[in-house]
Amino acid sequence: MPKKKPENCWTCRLRRKKCDGTQPTCRVCASLEISCHYSETQPEWMDGGPRQQAEAQRRKSEVKLSADRRRKEKVVRRLQSELLSDPGRDEYHQGVASPLTTGATPAPDKESRGFTQSSSALEATSPGGSTSNVWLSHLNCDYDIGLVVAFLDHVFPLLSPFYQPSVLEGGRMWLLAVIMRDKVFRLHTNAITSYLLSVIPCRSETITNTCKLYALEGAQRQRDLAISHLQSDLSSLITRGIHNNLSETATLLTNMVNVLDLERTLADGDEWQIHLEAALNLIRDLLQDESGLQGSNWSLVLRRLSDRSKPAGFDMWSIDQAAFRFSVAKLVVFDIVTSSSLGRPPGLLSHHQELLRGDRDLMDRNPLQLTEVNGCQNWAMALLGEVVALDAWKKDQEKQKTQYRQHLLLRGEDIYTRLNDGLVQLDKCSNSQDNVMTMDSLTSRAPPPPYVITKLWTFATLAYLHIVLHGWQPSNREFRHSVFHATELIKQLSPWPLHLRAQSWPLCVAGCLASEEERPFYQSLESILGALASFGSIQQTKRIWKRVWADKSDEPRKDVATCLASCDYKAFLA
């Protein structure tokens, strides 16, 4: 005989909570965002035994997971509220009125988000000044401290898995120092942290679309607010002279690169081009001699950023030096990779010699280490830059209708030889590994096998070079050889999803050129990468693959640049 329909839902009965009987969902279950169960008959799991205990435990877990979700949504809503009110901005600018609160300058729209457009003339604050105490006080709450810790412990290692500086180099202490003293930097870390925490769950749970939406809106607002600050700071620095305020200029460039990092993470358009051009202009001006003579001042800039209070013989990079070096290294990689989709030579090509090679006779330690950004050695990235420049030169010659073929082949053959020589050296070195246990090796995350990343980039570059020299020939034996080896190297990286995610450019190029037999593997990468494939450049890569694979034409003008622009915007695959 079926029992009379209960006044209380079975969920509240199971949890022994008072229920208001509202149907189809009682207010108690609705407030907790858990499933509410009504039925005329008693559920099978209400047996007073093991099944009821198991169901009670499951409901208890559901309540806990729901509480975590609601807590995240509350944090993101609070983030959105703080963005609108922008507390502390007046303190940060030492009493200067905020254009966002006075109405003097509207929030930047789609056409005015570039750094080069000036908003009101706010006075820039020295990174080493009194703002440190101001922002230390702003971190005295669980919300701010939680975001900072989440960024340092989870988000930064996720986005930069190759950056593991030695303890003797100061490790990553500069990150915390810059977060503490610079508001714009903190805006970036808050934005990217809140967004990624909404995309990648902290536990095995489902993240609601509402939370994702709030986080995305919050990150976009933080980005726009940061850009507004950067416009003001850049305008002030240009007036006062970038060489006369080197520490501020270095911090400004770091923040510009952070905006680019946020752009590639959000992957919501192609406004990154404006920001990239502004950052390139700033670093080029900085590396230009103050007398106006062309020439790189990289070593001089680094020396001027050093901490003069440190004792003689102390080789650790200062806070400013470490932040500046890592930011410029990322900018060099961004510049090379994006130039392949923009169809132009890398903007820093003329500075690659000193930035990436230095003075080998003097054992110069100033050159950047691009392996800290994407795992690829400097020489391979520099050669990719040369191929990109050769591709742009070829297209320029075609527009001018000149006889360029012989010169193209000569330049291409030289790059081809150096790429293959590099592969030979990699094969020789791949068996010699340092097995000495050190503090760094014991506490750092184990990276992929040495040289695998550089080989991947080299084979992808060889395939790219083949297209530049001989056109789109997917069935060519030498072409297929490069794509095959790139694919095999990607398979070797499968156990390291964090590091594999950082290879979006070679992933995209090799995937676009993959044969019908190789494509199922590339489709399976989404399951290998998991949540890492749901945002940023990997998301763009998947869209490009689908477009290129659906295009069956072998047009003579089809090339890497057209593939990277196949989604109606220029891809940012760094």
DSSP letter, residue 167: G
pLDDT greater than 90 at residue 335: yes
Tell me what the pLDDT averaged over the chain comes to: 78
Cα 339-342-348 angle, rounded to 5 deg: 30
Can you give the residue ranges of every domain in the chain? Answer: 10-72, 160-373, 375-430+446-573
**How many angstroms separate the Cα of 64 from the Cα of each of 87, 287, 536, 558?**
32, 54, 30, 53
Q: How many CB atoms lie under 10 A from the CB of residue 429? A: 12
Fold of 10-72: CD2-Gal4 (4.10.240)
User: Residue 543: what residue type?
Assistant: R
Please state, as a whole number, how many other Cβ atoms lie within 10 Å of the Cβ of residue 289: 12
- 193: tokens are 């942290």
Mean pLDDT of 529-558: 83
Report the percentage of the chain scoring pLDDT > 70.
75
Q: Is the pLDDT of residue 209 over 90?
A: no
Tens digit of each residue's pLDDT (9 = 90 or more) over 274-329: 999 999 999 998 887 654 444 458 888 888 888 766 655 556 788 899 999 999 99
Q: pLDDT tens-digit profile of 124-136?
A: 333 333 333 443 4
Q: Name residue, tokens 């435990």.
A: 57
Contacts of the segment 475-480: beta carbons below 8 A, 24+ positions apart:
479/513, 480/515
Among 198, 200, 330, 320, smallest CA distance to 258 is for 330
Q: Would you state the structure tokens that stand for residue 471, as one six-digit string?
A: 């056109």
163 touches 498 (CB < 8 A): no
Is the pLDDT at 1 greater than 50? The verdict is no
pLDDT digit string (tens) for 383-414? 999 999 999 999 999 998 888 899 999 999 99
Distances (CA, A) of 145 to 75, 128, 135, 187, 307: 12, 21, 11, 13, 28
User: Three-class SS of residue 308?
Assistant: coil
State yes or no: pLDDT of 77 exceeds 70: no
Widest pairwise Cα distance in the chain: 98
Residue 442 pLDDT > 70: no
- Give the least confident one: 73-82, 128-137, 455-464: 128-137
Q: How many Cβ atoms from other residues are within 10 Å of residue 257's Cβ?
A: 24
Higher pLDDT, 203 or 189: 189
Closest to 283 measured CA to CA, from 323, 238, 328: 328
Instruction: Specify the DSSP class assigned to residue 530.
Output: G
| Among 539, 564, 507, 558, residue whose Cα is nearest residue 340 | 564
Give residue for tokens 């295009």: 551
C-alpha–C-alpha distance, residues 231 and 120, integer Å: 9
